[in-house]
Structure formats: structure tokens, C-alpha cells
């Protein structure tokens, strides 16, 4: 790093330090962190796969399960603000129908249900940008506050076909383009481990509700880390599938280019690693055969590679020492338990993660973020909206306006810089492909720090680069929790595989859960 770079890094870290102090002061004067009710209903502690099994075997009724989760949501919502719309009455009616079918003399056999409707009678939640028929799809945009969809997104249709019951929609960032879940329609979602901290974004409400045991299973989407960051900040598991495996149909905003569509992926979010594979199999539908998910994985035959940081990007935070130590413990576990020694690698292009992601996100000027903020009806006047914000008159969050402004001066589609970065993206993909092959996984931080305080991301805007670069590559990545840090906040890592080698990252996630305990219930006292 040259002297100018060192100066920039020092200035940036000084700004971060000052901002964190101000956020801490604001949190202090805002009162103590709120507490959430304890988990008393043991039904809430089963994984989704076990719930489905118990419902099929009539050990639990679907109605009982749905009621348990409805009551839990009612307990946590006033504290965490993770749900934006519910369909409790409809879900109970659908649960009763499931129970009636099971009591019927012509009920399908347990084996048939397990094969054809593996989540029969199990409730699930999803974020407010994935369409659920007859519910709102606002994407956190005030202009869409009354917009109701009449058709399920393909991922939701597949989950329903598998017998699952939609229960509620969860909060996101405005237009799913920021890593704190807050918008002018529904407000800010709070972290169940400490309500002074963020839940991540854009699937932050989903990460929150899963961690707080308000849902047994969630569906999120990820264009730059929107599944993995909320999973990391909330201490749960999540999987971003290989590019093109799961249909993106029914999301809003939808991708504006082929490059954006390649970045975007829908995947599962849940407390237990065991649920990831069966949900992915459902979501992948006809593409599931590409993943060979039923093939047995021998951990001892996997080649492990790792990096502890991004190599030193100028405007990202250094990786917390506790996260590095947690990763080393994982590496030691696999070495002792499976006799596999990981190889430390250094990929220079990771220092360009943000630039590469921005290049891949670039679209034609007339369809930029100011176009999205206008609900695809013209474009907002970003400078006027910026002034209106400070007059408390804007319908947009400050970060959404700043994003539109930043984009106006960022990489232009078709420019020499854009073409160069796109080529570097392809070169990086080839480099990673050569390293991982079909039997390798790559361990990498999901994020450089545990969940920041509310508003702190404003001075750490590029910390999402750790997840974003994996979207550029189109590779599968599984977020794995590794307990809590000294402040009681979740930490973890992501496990990345070669294209279509999702089964390897899922198998490693299950092994990490066995070795390190997985999800830790949030404390009931601050």
C-alpha cells in the first residue's frame, strides 16, 4: 500500500471511530437495549424438517405449529419490528385444511408426503420484495405502500407446492439496496441480541425473525450479501445458491440487466443447517439435478482454502480479531476431526471487490437507482430529494438518496473503466475456478465486524464487499454462525464452493453446526 493509500485508510478509520462514538452516545441517551420475551414454547425449538416430520406423523398438528409461531411473532414484534404484514387468519385456515387431509381416510401416506410435500403444514416467512399472492409488495418504498400482488413469486409457488404455509412478510431496506433494514414505511428492525444494533439487509427482517424464533424457515434474496449479512448479524444459517439455479421471478425490484440477474439469487434462511438442503432442493426445482444434492459428501475428501481478510481494500474495516480466531478454530476442527489441512491463499483481485461489484451492477443511465426510487415511473430529482430530506419532507431514506447520488458519479455502462472491470471479473472467476475445482471450498469472512450500531453503516458503506464479491463470481456461499463475541453479538464465516457445488458448502455448514453449536438463542436480558 502506498503512502497516499495509508493516509486514506487512516482518515477513514478515524472517521469510523468518531462515528461509532457518536452512535454509541446516541444509543446511550436513547435508553437501555430492550429485552425480548423468553422462548417458552418448545415447539419453537424444532427445526423445520422435524416439524414437517411430526406433522406428517400426527405428533403435532399444523394448526398447533402455526399458532405457536403466531403467538411468538406477537411477542417479539413490539420489540424487534421485524414483520411488516401478516396473514395469520389465512395461515390458520390452511393449517386446519392440512390437518383435515391427514385425518382423512384417503390421506396420502407418510412416505408420499415426505417425497411430494416435504414441508406439509409448516409455516414460513419471506421478505417484502418477494411476491406472495394477495399481499403487499412494497419493497420498502412509500410509492408502493398500497401495491398488492395477485401472483406468487416462483420461489413462493414452489414452497406452497411443497406444502409450506406463508405466514408473514418481513422488513427490508428501501428497495433492498442497503445493509440496514430501515425504510420510511415500516421503520427500523432491531437486532434480537442487542436492539441497539442492526439486523443487516436487505433480508434483515427475515434474519431477525429467524433468530428470535418467530419463524421456522425463511426465504431471502441476495444480490450483494442480502442473505448472508443478515444471517451473520443474527447468528443463523443462510445459503446463496449458484447463479441461475433458483428462479428470480416475482422479485421487486427485478434485475435490470443480465449482469444484475446473474448477481441475484433467492435462497433459504434458517436457524438449523439441516433445513438448508431440503429447502434448496425445492427452490431449485428442475435445476436441482445440476447440484447433485443427494450425493454423499465425504468431508475428508474436500480441499479447504481460506483468507482471513480481503487483502487491504482502502475503505473497508479491518476484520475483527474475534472473527479471525473463530475461523482458525474452524480450520483446526477440520484438521483434527477429518485430517484435512486448509491452504491459506491470497487473491489480489479481492482488493477490487467493490469496484467489480459496482461494474456488474451498472445498468443503462435511464434505469439507474433514481429511476427505481420513482417506482420505475420517470426519475426522482436526487438533489431536490436531498434538500427535502433535511426539511423532513422526503419519502425516501437518506441512504437511498445518497446511493442515487453516488451512482450518478460512479462507473458508467460501456465506459472503458466498465469494460476493464468486467474483464477482471471474468479473470477472477477463472482464477477461483482453477483453485476450487469440483472438490474445494473457500472459507472467507462474511463481514469484517459484528453487527454495527444503528446508523453506523453510513461511515462503513463498503463493508459489504466481503459478500458482494461472491455474487460477482456467481458461486454458492453458505453463511455459518460461530457463536457470540465478547459483546454478545453473533459472528461467523461464509463457506464458498465452486459453481454448482452447493452440496459441499451445505455439508461443511452442517459439520460446523455439529462442531460449534450453530444458532444461539438471544438472551432475554440486555
| Interacting residues of 407 by C-beta distance below 8 A, sequence separation 6+ | 368, 369, 370
Distance of CA 470 to the CA centre of its chain: 13
| Interacting residues of 16 by C-beta distance below 8 A, sequence separation 6+ | 317, 459, 460
| Interacting residues of 486 by C-beta distance below 8 A, sequence separation 6+ | 322
Rounded-to-integer distance, Cα 158 and Cα 329, Å: 38
Find out whether 311 and 350 touch, Cβ atoms under 8 Å. yes
Rounded-to-integer distance, Cα 501 and Cα 490, Å: 27
Rounded-to-integer distance, Cα 94 and Cα 123, Å: 10
**Which entry of 202, 203, 370, 394 is annotated as an active-site residue?**
202
C-alpha distances in angstroms, 219 versus 38, 107, 157, 268, 333? 25, 28, 12, 5, 30
CA atoms within 13 A on the CB side of 128: 34
Interior CA angle at 149 toward 67 and 202, to 5°?
A: 75
Rounded-to-integer distance, Cα 509 and Cα 150, Å: 36
Which three three-digit cell numbers place residue 360?
Answer: 456488474
Q: Is 242 a catalytic residue?
A: no
**Which entry of 54, 61, 68, 127 is annotated as an active-site residue?**
127
Assign 103 to helix, strand or coil. helix
**Which entry of 62, 203, 226, 353 is annotated as an active-site residue?**
226
Q: Is 301 a catalytic residue?
A: no
Give the orientation angle of helix 321-338 with respect to helix 502-516, to 10 degrees: 100
Find out whether 170 and 125 touch, Cβ atoms under 8 Å. yes
Rounded-to-integer distance, Cα 265 and Cα 227, Å: 9
Q: Is 257 a catalytic residue?
A: no
Rounded-to-integer distance, Cα 116 and Cα 364, Å: 43
Catalytic positions: 127, 202, 226
Amino acid at each position: 500500500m502506498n503512502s497516499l493509500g495509508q493516509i486514506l485508510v487512516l482518515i477513514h478509520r478515524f472517521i469510523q471511530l468518531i462515528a461509532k462514538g457518536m452512535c454509541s452516545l446516541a444509543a446511550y441517551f436513547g435508553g437501555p437495549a430492550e429485552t425480548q420475551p423468553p422462548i417458552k414454547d418448545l415447539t419453537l425449538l424444532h427445526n423445520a424438517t422435524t416439524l414437517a416430520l411430526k406433522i406428517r406423523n400426527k405428533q403435532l398438528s399444523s394448526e398447533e405449529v402455526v399458532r405457536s409461531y403466531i403467538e411468538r411473532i406477537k411477542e417479539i414484534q413490539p420489540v424487534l419490528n421485524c414483520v411488516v404484514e401478516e396473514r395469520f387468519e389465512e395461515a390458520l385456515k390452511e393449517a386446519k385444511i392440512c390437518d383435515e387431509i391427514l385425518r382423512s381416510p384417503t390421506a396420502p401416506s407418510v412416505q408420499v408426503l415426505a417425497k411430494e410435500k416435504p414441508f406439509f403444514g409448516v409455516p414460513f416467512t419471506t421478505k417484502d420484495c418477494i411476491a406472495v399472492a394477495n399481499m403487499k409488495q412494497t419493497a420498502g418504498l412509500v410509492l408502493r405502500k398500497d401495491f398488492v400482488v395477485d401472483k406468487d413469486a416462483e420461489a413462493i409457488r414452489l414452497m406452497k407446492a411443497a406444502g409450506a404455509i406463508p405466514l408473514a412478510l418481513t422488513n427490508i431496506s428501501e428497495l433492498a439496496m442497503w445493509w440496514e433494514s430501515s425504510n420510511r414505511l415500516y421503520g427500523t428492525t432491531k437486532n434480537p441480541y442487542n436492539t441497539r444494533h442492526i439486523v443487516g439487509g436487505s433480508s434483515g427482517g427475515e434474519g431477525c425473525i429467524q433468530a428470535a424464533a418467530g419463524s421456522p424457515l425463511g426465504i431471502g434474496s441476495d444480490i450483494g450479501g442480502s442473505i448472508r449479512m443478515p444471517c451473520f448479524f443474527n447468528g443463523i444459517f443462510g445459503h446463496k445458491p449458484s447463479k441461475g439455479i433458483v428462479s428470480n421471478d416475482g422479485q421487486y425490484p427485478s434485475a435490470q440487466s443480465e449482469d444484475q440477474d446473474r448477481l441475484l439469487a433467492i435462497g433459504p434462511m434458517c436457524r438449523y443447517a439441516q433445513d438448508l438442503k431440503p429447502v434448496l432442493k425445492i427452490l431449485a426445482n428442475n435445476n436441482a439435478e445440476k447440484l447433485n444434492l443427494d450425493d454423499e459428501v465425504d468431508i475428508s475428501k474436500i480441499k479447504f482454502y481460506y483468507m482471513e481478510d480481503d487483502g487491504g481494500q482502502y475503505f473497508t474495516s479491518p476484520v475483527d480479531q474475534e472473527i479471525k480466531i473463530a475461523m482458525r478454530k474452524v480450520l483446526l476442527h477440520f484438521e483434527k476431526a477429518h485430517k484435512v489441512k486448509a491452504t491459506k491463499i491470497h487473491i489480489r483481485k479481492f482488493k477490487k471487490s467493490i469496484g467489480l461489484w459496482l461494474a456488474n451492477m451498472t445498468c443503462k443511465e435511464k434505469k439507474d437507482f433514481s429511476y427505481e426510487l420513482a417506482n420505475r415511473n420517470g426519475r426522482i430529482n436526487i438533489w431536490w430529494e436531498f434538500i427535502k430530506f433535511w426539511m423532513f419532507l422526503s419519502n425516501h431514506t437518506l441512504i437511498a438518496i445518497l446511493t442515487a447520488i453516488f451512482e450518478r458519479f460512479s462507473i458508467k455502462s460501456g465506459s472503458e473503466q466498465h469494460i476493464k472491470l468486467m474483464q477482471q471479473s471474468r479473470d477472477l472467476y477463472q482464477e477461483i475456478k482453477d483453485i476450487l475445482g469440483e472438490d474445494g471450498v473457500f472459507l472467507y469472512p462474511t463481514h469484517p465486524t459484528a453487527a454495527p450500531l444503528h446508523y453506523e453503516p453510513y461511515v462503513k458503506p463498503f463493508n459489504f464487499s466481503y459478500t458482494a464479491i461472491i455474487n460477482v463470481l456467481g458461486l454458492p456461499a453458505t453463511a455459518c454462525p460461530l457463536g457470540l463475541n465478547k459483546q454478545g453479538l453473533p459472528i461467523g464465516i461464509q463457506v464458498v464452493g465452486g459453481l454448482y457445488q452447493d452440496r459441499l458448502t451445505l455439508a461443511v455448514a452442517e459439520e460446523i453446526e455439529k462442531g460449534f453449536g450453530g444458532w444461539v438463542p438471544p438472551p432475554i436480558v440486555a
